[in-house]
Structure formats: C-alpha cells, structure tokens
Structure 1
Amino acid sequence: MGDLAGRWRELNRAYWDERVPVHLGTAFYGMEGFRARPDSLKGFETAEMGDVRGRSLIHLQCHFGRDTLSWAARGARVTGLDFSPPAIEAASRLATELGLHARFLTSDVYDAVAAVEGEIFDIVYASFGALNWLPDITRWASVVAELLAPGGCLYLAEFHPFSFVLDDETGSRVTHDYFDEGPEASGGPGTYADEAAVTEHNDTVEWRHSLATVVSAIAGAGLRIRFLHEHDHTFYLQRQSLECHDGDIYRHPEGAPRYPLTYSIRAEKA
C-alpha cells in the first residue's frame, strides 16, 4: 500500500482520465436528457443553496462539468476545476454545445488558488464522491477559505462516511472500521457508471474521512458552519440492501432501521 499511496495523484488522474469518455456515454449520467434540460442537481442541493443568480461559483473536482453547468443554467457565474485534462476538455465542449457561459480550468484542487490567480468567489461548491480522493482535508478546507469572498459560503454535499462501514448485503452489520481513514487501495476494472467497461488504468487510492474530520477542518479554516444536514437517501446503489425510488433515488426498505446515506454542509466566511 505504501507505494500506491505515494503515487496517489498519478494513479487517480490516470483512472479518471480514462473514464471520462466512458462516463459521457453511460445511462448513469444520462447526457441525452441533460442536453435537453441541463439540471443534474439534487433536490436538497437547490433548496439549501437557494437563488444563485448573478453569484460567482467555483466547483472543485467538477469532472466533466455536468453539475457546474447546472448551476450556470440557474444563473450563476461558474468556474469548474478538475485535475483531469480530458474532463476539462469535455466540460468546455459541453458548455459550448449548450450555449452556457462557463470557465473550466485544469488544476489539482490543492492548487486552485493559483489556478484562478487569486480570484475569490461567492460560493465554493463540492459534491458527491469528491473528498474521498483527497489525503488532507485540513489543507482542502484552507484552500476553500482562501477561495471565498467575505460573506461567501461553502456548500458541500457528500456521501455519508458511516454508510461505508456496513456490509453490502444487508446494511445492518458493521464490517469496516469507521475510524480507519486510509489510505486504502481501491479501483478495479470498469466504473460505477458502467461495470462492464473495458479499462486499463484500474489502481486508485482513496481516503474515508470521518464526518468529524470534515466538520473540524471546515471550522478550523475559520468558516462558520450554518448547518449540517444528514439525509436518509442516496443517488446510486451504495448498498445492495437499498431500494430504488423515483428513478435515481435509493432508500432503505420500508420498515428497516435508517441511517444517513448522504449529508450536506453550508459554512460561511466572515
């Protein structure tokens, strides 16, 4: 594991570079529907963020920009940032195709301040499946604070770390150590969006940051936490025990004990 951990950035970038064209063609991302109506945001995200018209927003780890452009369609002035050149190229093409104004930059998230040349934003946005690719959440939170204008806010929506300590079949037995935050080897052939996809770059490194680690990092960066909300639903089959509702929303079976599957945080800079 030591050798893999030391190469985390190289391995993870190769993994994501290869999967950009795969993801663009999968039913999971539903790009045909997105092109007809560019809105991939979750209901609680838009409700919790409110009106973003005219506000500047930077989306960290934006992949190929689907959520970034969803905020643009709602009137925000958006910048998307990702370390994968193919992802940024795809995002730029998609923005042009949809006629949405957006800026996309290739950069490691830890280098975001330099990438935007010191520009500050009303909103820093990060979502689902972002933090697990970062080894240092304290440093991430510091970058977020530097990117925010006074009075600006961080909005983070993520998969809840507790949901990953339970067994896959029933979701009722603890099988992983919640306090073991990694690094851990991960990956494998294919992708969550297409398990049958033929891929070459399959080694990745991830970290399972506890909720306490994330909250403490944000507070330690000087941001005031306005809320932490935990949600009992998610947006892919995290556990085989979950049931699908409304197309892409997964919930616990009726009558089963519930535990949080996702969470959201809003924090503000004084």
Structure 2
Amino acid sequence: MTNEYFAANQANWDDRAPLHAARDGSGYGVQEFIDAPTALSDVVRFDLPRLGDIAGKRAVHLQCHIGTDTISLSRLGAFVTGLDFSGESVAEARRLAADSGDNVSFVQSDVLEALSVLPNAAFDLVFTGVGAICWLPNIREWAGVVAGLLAPGGSLFIREAHPILWAMDESLTDDLFLRFPYFEHTEPLEWDDEQSYVPTTAALQSTKTYEWNHSLGEIVTALIDSGLRIDLLVEHDSVPWEALPGQMTLREGGEWALSERSGVAPLSYTLRASKQA
C-alpha cells in the first residue's frame, strides 16, 4: 500500500476509534460488552450457525478495530489475538477488554505485515469481519497472508459486505445505482467524509480515505491460488449497518435490508475456506 493511502486511512481510523468506543451509547455501544459478560457483537451472532464450535481454537482476528468481534470470539471459547493497523483502535480494544474482563490480546500491525509479527502456521481460525478488505489494494497478497497464518486443517471465516454493494452509489437515494468499480483497480476510490457509519458525538478530523473493491471471483480465486479450499459461500440480502441511507429497513438482530427492493441484490456474504491438514 502506498504511504500516502496508508497514512490517510490510518489517521482516519485513529480518529474513529475513540468515537466508536464511547461509553455513552453512541458509536458501537460498547458499554453493553462491559455490563453483559455474555454479550456478542451483531456480526458474530449473525453467523453463529455457520461459525460452529470454536471453543479451544487458536484464533486471530485481522483488522479487528476496537475489538467487539474479537471479544465475541473469545466469549465463544477461542483463544484470540486481534490485529489492527490503527494504534488508537488497538488502545481502545485493550481498554475494552480490560474493562470487560475478557482475556484477549491485541497487536498493532498492517494486516499485510501480519506474518512478520504473528506466529506463522499457528492459528486454527483466521477471522475477518465487515468492512475490512476494502482497505487493501491487493486481494491476492491478503490471501497469501491468511494462508500463511493458518495451521494445517485451520479455517478462514469472513463476513464481508458484497462487492456489488461497494459498487453502489449510496448518495443516490431513490433507487439502486451501480457507479463504482466492481473489479479490483490499482488506483483506489478517494472519499472525503467527516461522518462515520455509526452515530458519534463529534465529526472526524482526518476525513480522507482510500478504498479498493475486489470482486467475489477475485476473492475466491485468490484464496484457492493460495492453497485454500472453499468450504462455504453464502450471499445475504442484508448488512449490519445502514449502507444505503433512505432505502433500508432495520431487522431484528441489527441487520439492514432493502425496503422496496429486498432481495434484488446481494448485500453481504459469508465465506469459509480451509487449509489442507
């Protein structure tokens, strides 16, 4: 990743972290994790039937942000390490784990450098959640990192926004419009927005970000070429945030679906892949 893009994205996520980790009900509503020792994030809860029993597994959560999904995996019995490139995110994740009493460790690193800071071929589970891989310029490089982290017989589990959704223009609220690249491009899309995707008590100061889309075929092929086997791929008609403002309805459990055109396009997917034993 070029230094310019990386620095801008890192500054943006450093800005977001304390706002998302607020204890006043805004942001991610993290006070629930402190007050309720069995609380799980909406993202992890949504996929419980597909995730299966992870008790006792060695897990790493890549691009973990402030650690709500990371802590949720720990509460399901896994031994979890979270990794994120934002120092502020890692600091907030550690603070949240300390306040909630969960035994989770966190490491600051660019995800594409994970093999230099984490034990290689050591994890039974590599987990990544919604809104992660759009920050990476090259999906094949990421897939190689995932394969390098997995122990023989281990699995990747990813829930992510669908590349069809990333190609839609959210600023047009009267219908669905495909406007942005579906396939991976060398040059990223540039955004400038002082608002986050959840309610916060202040505007962002570092407003510029750079993102890359990756087609579903590019993601699957990159994983296969890295030596992994695709075990599950499920596309969903919902996402865990209001991705298209004015066109979505909140469902029970924290998922948002299209109101008028429900089911006409995939909005997210769950993928599981495994490394040969």
TM-score, structure 2 as length reference:
0.89
Describe the superposition over 1:119-160 as per-residue Cα deviations: whole angstroms up to 9, x where unpaired: 610000001000000011101000000000000000011000
How far is the alpha carbon of 1:48 from its aligned partner? 0.6
Structure 1 residues 130-139 or 4-13, which shifts more?
4-13
Q: Is the 8 A contact 1:191 1:197 kept in 2?
A: no
Q: In the alignment, does 2:236 pair up with 1:235?
A: no
Q: 2:202 maps to what in 1?
A: 197
Match of 2:212 among 186, 203, 207: 207
Structure 1 residues 196-205 or 81-90, which shifts more?
196-205
Q: Is the 8 A contact 2:62 2:128 kept in 1?
A: yes
Q: 1:13 maps to what in 2?
A: 10
Task: Within 5 Å, give how 1:1-270 maps onto structure 2.
Answer: 7-25=4-22, 27-37=26-36, 38-42=39-43, 43-118=45-120, 120-168=122-170, 169-179=173-183, 181=185, 182-194=187-199, 197-239=202-244, 240-246=246-252, 248-253=254-259, 256-270=262-276
Structure 1 residues 157-166 or 102-111, which shifts more?
157-166
RMSD: 2.0
Q: Is the 8 A contact 2:8 2:209 kept in 1?
A: yes
Using the alignment, how far apart are the partners of 2:119 and 2:102 within structure 1? 23
Structure 1 residues 77-86 or 4-13, which shifts more?
4-13
How far is the alpha carbon of 1:175 from its aligned partner? 3.0
The number of aligned residues is 267
Instruction: Indicate the percent of aligned positions where both proteins have the same amino acid.
Output: 36
Describe the superposition over 1:83-109 as per-residue Cα deviations: whole angstroms up to 9, x where unpaired: 111111111121122121111111110
How far is the alpha carbon of 1:247 from its aligned partner? 6.0
TM-score, structure 1 as length reference:
0.92
Describe the superposition over 1:174-197 as per-residue Cα deviations: whole angstroms up to 9, x where unpaired: 333423644111142131123772
Which segments of structure 1 move beyond 4 Å, counting only runs of 4 or more?
254-257
Using the alignment, how far apart are the partners of 1:111 and 1:145 within structure 2? 13
Letter in 2 for 1:91: A
Q: Is the 8 A contact 1:231 1:260 kept in 2?
A: yes
Describe the superposition over 1:3-52 as per-residue Cα deviations: whole angstroms up to 9, x where unpaired: x9651111111111111111112534111222223310434421111111
Structure 2 CA distance for partners of 1:83 and 1:174, relative to 1, 3 Å? closer
Residue 35 of structure 1 aligns to a residue in which SS? helix
Describe the superposition over 1:219-263 as per-residue Cα deviations: whole angstroms up to 9, x where unpaired: 111000001110011111111311122262211226655211110
Structure 2 CA distance for partners of 1:180 and 1:126, relative to 1, 3 Å? closer
Using the alignment, how far apart are the partners of 2:198 and 2:270 within structure 1? 23
